Chains A and B, each alone.
Chain A
């Protein structure tokens, strides 16, 4: 982002300072290039340290924890990254759309007219049937909500200074949280999916991997794959990429910008809804302000992966999930949020384009 516009502030000053400034720039470029390697190396080191200190079983169990929570982050992070890619807005309400859709799913399951929680718990067939019913309904509802938010709060501000839509995004976030607090209560709510998936699938070296872990991890991968194919191979996907690259040029080539942006919000919110349901199956407890933290962590994942880059968001999410659990294990659990956001700062300072990088056109 910032990198592409970076210029040397005063040429004369640089010449007189000579070597040090040049060397500094060289170092910074080196840090940027080495960044992915450093991240991966640091992670491997963390895993090794935990394994040494608490045993291989603990380390392996934490890999499982990190990947499953990372899967949920991934589904939220893609929404951030899509919206950022296309209109350069950090949609702070996105985390709350995630919570909202988990509650949508809960409300749908209460008003379907049959016991969907029972169906979900009745073996593999019932589970997939219940899951698909809820996914379809909830993703549609969340998608429409996302479109509504864009229409009401962002569209008119599309050409305003960037701070304006950012503030409305924060506003929308508070509105959704307030709505959930008022209508769904202040306490944790059980979604009734606790016994949808029970039992251990496989035991790897003393670490039990449950069916639930497998479901969470692979369903996130499936959704990411579907999204990536959609963006790459469909007309609408092409329009989205075109709009992200250059909105004016896309407009000139006949792309309906409003419809494309609406579709982006629909898809991003629908994926957050999938995340909400998967999270409900995973932990069964949801609460009105769940999305605040999840949203801001998912945003960090998107930045780490390279904001605007779909694969990057997924990769960033799994990395952040692992960094969170291993960092907490090593330094102390009080620090794990600090670790995540220190990561955000490091990325922004040394490699603002993120791991996979995507140069976003600068419209300054």
Chain B
């Protein structure tokens, strides 16, 4: 009911109405902005940690803009009554790497964990960065909600041989402090493998990974899923060199095996687009497949004009939310605010921050409209409130299981259209 109301008004009216709708979906249960919080005094600090410069600037920056919009709207709507919101955006891309950097992430997280005012963090974007950050945030009892981490090893022990899951969760009270609003790579790989083998009728695959936490594990799952579905992996390489020469050489080695498709388990800042272009250079006329790391505007910058509407290029990513009714008001406000379109994870970032803010609000209300005196208690209460989230947002319904994983298990297949990624179909596994 609320959703349809939003749709109608937002379509016709101005930003303000649209923004009011954006946060109204679940504030309504406690009947609007300031209930019991009018007397709240002080400011509440939340943060985000995303790669917003360097090679990840387009995808990370677009996600951060979604997060920021949630904060701005909550501020405007006086979500916490008399209390204001202080938002700290952190960038985990480093100059040293020119892209997301686990070391930078760990440094950011240490800073945020030591700042006792911070009660929750949205991020990180990359699973490899999460591996570096989780031990720090969990030990400090600080909530982290990721819009985009897909490595199953972050929450499920034994699912990624490269990750010791138990060592990431160090909360002294044994609480799980890490949540994510997107499903993991076991689901993502299965969706892509099924689509490739069953729908596209591809049989033989050459798999390259960028050898990072996310990419390598995604490739591993893709390989085993393809084999289970009756396809074959003719060759598998892991590279840390993302130059055209490297990809030329790798593709030359695989060309004689005549794969139907090349799969890239990696992110765009590690050369998804460079690989795509190299396939043309070497003359490997196969279908290009990849995961959500490739659904990034950077892909088209690297791949060049030929990729803009290529019909043999597919990548899986978080369910395409741009067609969901629940996202329309947000999409419009986003466009008006930033004068650009959302990236694949803007809605996810927006929902993550809203989930965090709603949880904080719940804590404030149950504490008699005041900020808890002890920052440790405040953090612990926010963790509990986030764990109990039951949120309807732009990406649909979000509820977490005991590990902090979303119960929403679907992914979309995206294709290039006029130089950007467009959702083609959404599949569940």
What residues of chain A have their CB less than 8 Å away from a CB belonging to chain B?
54-55, 57-58, 61-62, 65, 69, 181, 186-188, 190, 194, 208, 282-285, 288-290, 293, 324-325, 328-329, 332-334, 336-337
Partner of A188, one of B281, B283, B302: B302
Q: Is the CB of A54 within 8 A of B256?
A: yes
B203 at interface, CB cutoff 8 A: no
List 29 A-B residue pairs with CB atoms under 8 Å apart, sorted by A's residue number. Answer: A58-B252, A61-B252, A65-B252, A69-B245, A181-B98, A186-B55, A187-B54, A187-B57, A187-B269, A187-B301, A188-B271, A188-B274, A188-B301, A188-B302, A190-B302, A283-B245, A283-B281, A284-B244, A284-B304, A285-B244, A285-B277, A285-B302, A288-B98, A329-B249, A332-B237, A333-B237, A333-B246, A333-B249, A336-B246
Q: What are the residues of chain B within 8 A of A282 when measuring CB–CB?
A: 244
Which B residue's beta carbon lies closest to that of A332?
Answer: B237
B53 at interface, CB cutoff 8 A: yes
CB interface residues, B 239-291, toward A, < 8 Å: 239-241, 243-246, 248-250, 252-253, 255-256, 269, 271, 273-274, 277, 281-283
Which of A282, A283, A288, A293 has its CB near the most chain B CB atoms (within 10 A)? Answer: A283
Q: What are the residues of chain A within 8 A of B211 when measuring CB–CB?
A: 334
Q: Is the CB of A325 within 8 A of B255?
A: no
Q: Is the CB of A208 within 8 A of B241?
A: no
Closest 9 CB pairs of A and B: A186-B54, A283-B244, A186-B98, A61-B252, A58-B256, A325-B249, A55-B256, A187-B55, A188-B302
Partner of B95, one of A61, A181, A332, A333: A181
Which A residue's beta carbon lies closest to that of B306?
Answer: A194
B99 at interface, CB cutoff 8 A: yes
B298 at interface, CB cutoff 8 A: yes
Q: How far is the CA of A186 from the CA of B38 in the complex (A)?
A: 46
Q: For the complex, would chain B's binding face be called helix, strand, loop or mixed by DSSP majority?
A: helix
Min CB–CB distance B426 → chain A (angstroms): 29
Q: How far is the CA of A61 from the CA of B256 in the complex (A)?
A: 10
Q: Is the CB of A65 within 8 A of B55?
A: no
Q: What are the residues of chain A within 8 A of B298 when measuring CB–CB?
A: 187
Q: Is the CB of B239 within 8 A of A333?
A: yes
Given the known A-B contacts A55-B256, A61-B252, A288-B98, are A186 and B57 also in contact in the complex, defined by CB atoms under 8 Å?
yes
Which B residue's beta carbon lies closest to that of A61?
Answer: B252
Q: What are the residues of chain A within 8 A of B95 when measuring CB–CB?
A: 181
Q: How far is the CA of A188 from the CA of B95 in the complex (A)?
A: 15
Q: Is the CB of A186 within 8 A of B252?
A: no
Q: Is the CB of B245 within 8 A of A190?
A: no
| Total A-B residue contacts, Cβ distance less than 8 Å | 87
Q: What are the residues of chain B within 8 A of A334 when measuring CB–CB?
A: 211, 238-240
Q: For the complex, would chain A's binding face be called helix, strand, loop or mixed by DSSP majority?
A: helix
What residues of chain B have their CB less than 8 Å away from a CB belonging to chain A?
53-55, 57, 93, 95, 98-99, 211, 237-241, 243-246, 248-250, 252-253, 255-256, 269, 271, 273-274, 277, 281-283, 298, 301-302, 304
Q: Is the CB of B241 within 8 A of A336?
A: yes
Q: How far is the CA of A225 from the CA of B239 in the complex (A)?
A: 36
Q: Is the CB of B253 within 8 A of A337?
A: no
Which B residue's beta carbon lies closest to that of A328?
Answer: B249
Q: How far is the CA of A61 from the CA of B271 in the complex (A)?
A: 22
A186-B55, A334-B240, A337-B241 provided; 14 other pairs, C-beta below 8 A?
A: A181-B95, A186-B54, A186-B93, A187-B301, A188-B273, A283-B245, A285-B274, A325-B252, A329-B253, A333-B237, A333-B238, A333-B249, A334-B239, A336-B249
Q: How far is the CA of A333 from the CA of B250 in the complex (A)?
A: 7
Min CB–CB distance A6 → chain B (angstroms): 37
Q: Is the CB of B255 within 8 A of A61?
A: yes
Q: How far is the CA of A333 from the CA of B244 in the complex (A)?
A: 14
Min CB–CB distance A118 → chain B (angstroms): 14
Q: How far is the CA of A61 from the CA of B283 in the complex (A)?
A: 11
Q: How far is the CA of A8 from the CA of B20 in the complex (A)?
A: 86
Q: What are the residues of chain A within 8 A of B250 when measuring CB–CB?
A: 328, 333
Q: What are the residues of chain B within 8 A of A57 when measuring CB–CB?
A: 255-256
Q: What are the residues of chain B within 8 A of A208 when measuring CB–CB?
A: 283
Q: How far is the CA of A289 from the CA of B55 in the complex (A)?
A: 12
Q: Is the CB of B301 within 8 A of A190?
A: yes
Min CB–CB distance B305 → chain A (angstroms): 8
Which B residue's beta carbon lies closest to that of A282?
Answer: B244
Q: What are the residues of chain A within 8 A of B243 when measuring CB–CB?
A: 283, 290, 293
Min CB–CB distance A102 → chain B (angstroms): 13
Q: Is the CB of B54 within 8 A of A54?
A: no
Q: How far is the CA of A194 from the CA of B273 in the complex (A)?
A: 14
Q: Is the CB of B241 within 8 A of A333?
A: yes
Min CB–CB distance B421 → chain A (angstroms): 17
Min CB–CB distance B116 → chain A (angstroms): 34
Given the known A-B contacts A58-B255, A186-B99, A285-B277, are A65 and B241 also in contact in the complex, defined by CB atoms under 8 Å?
no
Min CB–CB distance A134 → chain B (angstroms): 20
Q: How far is the CA of A181 from the CA of B53 in the complex (A)?
A: 11
Min CB–CB distance A110 → chain B (angstroms): 16
Q: What are the residues of chain B within 8 A of A190 when measuring CB–CB?
A: 301-302, 304
Which B residue's beta carbon lies closest to that of A50?
Answer: B253
Min CB–CB distance A21 → chain B (angstroms): 43
